[in-house]
């Protein structure tokens, strides 16, 4: 692998292969993600929907659980409404990360996940010098997410697998933020 592949300016296949392999599965195993997303999609009543969403959000953020109280208010009727609107909801007031993750779930994974690592990875990959840290201010965050989503969906439209791109951006963003443990143990497997 050439150094240019590690620090590419576009998500080439070699770049995605390298960084997706560096995705730390202990933070959210991909096999769990797929089954949890499926459980959300097939939920047929309020109880099974809230249970499936709770497990999916625990996969996303197992340590904090700040999302729990707000998920209790999501019924099948509200879920169907969110799906039909397609917008980023305002379930959580601070920031948009959980709201975007909910939109990711109700769009069956079509809307990309965003968090500080994916955003940082995107900023470094695309040489975007402004705002490598994702803002909490909702209007600014929504505007920047729109930029990210357009870029991400453009990559997917060109044939890149969305989940592999998400994993690569997450790992690369952790690396760029100094939160990347595998680098010290021999890079990635």
Q: Which tens digit of pLDDT belongs to each residue from 62-111?
A: 877 778 888 888 999 999 999 999 899 999 887 899 999 999 999 999 99
The gap between the terminal CA atoms of the chain, to the nearest Å, is 13
The yes-or-no verdict on residue 9 having pLDDT over 70 is no
What is the C-alpha to C-alpha distance for residues 28 and 84, in angstroms, rounded to an integer? Answer: 28
Beta strands in the chain (DSSP E): none
The yes-or-no verdict on residue 61 having pLDDT over 90 is no
What is the sign of the dihedral through the CA atoms of 48, 93, 147 and 27? negative
DSSP state at residue 187? S
Rg (CA), the chain: 17
Q: Regarding predicted confidence, which is higher, 4 or 38?
A: 38
What is the C-alpha to C-alpha distance for residues 71 and 85, in angstroms, rounded to an integer? Answer: 18
Residue 93 in tokens:
């007031």
Asked if 112 and 148 touch (Cβ cutoff 8 Å), the reply is: yes
The yes-or-no verdict on residue 4 having pLDDT over 50 is no
Q: Which tens digit of pLDDT belongs to each residue from 114-152?
A: 999 999 999 988 887 666 788 888 999 999 999 999 999
């Amino acid at each position: 692998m050439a150094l240019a592949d590690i620090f590419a300016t576009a998500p080439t296949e070699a770049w995605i292969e390298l960084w997706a392999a560096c995705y730390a599965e202990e933070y959210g195993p991909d096999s769990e993600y797929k089954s949890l997303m499926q459980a959300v999609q097939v939920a047929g009543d309020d109880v099974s929907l809230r249970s499936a969403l709770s497990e999916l959000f625990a996969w996303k953020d197992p340590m904090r659980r700040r999302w729990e109280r707000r998920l209790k208010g999501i019924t099948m009727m509200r879920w169907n409404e969110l799906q039909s609107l397609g917008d980023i909801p305002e379930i959580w007031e601070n920031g948009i990360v959980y709201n975007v993750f909910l939109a990711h779930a109700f769009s069956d994974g079509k809307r990309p996940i965003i968090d500080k690592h994916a955003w940082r990875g995107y900023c470094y990959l695309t040489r975007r010098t402004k705002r490598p840290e994702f803002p909490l201010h909702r209007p600014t965050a929504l505007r920047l997410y729109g930029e990210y989503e357009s870029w991400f969906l453009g990559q997917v439209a060109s044939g890149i697998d969305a989940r592999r791109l998400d994993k690569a951006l997450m790992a690369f963003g952790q690396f760029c933020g100094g939160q990347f443990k595998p680098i010290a143990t021999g890079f990635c497997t």
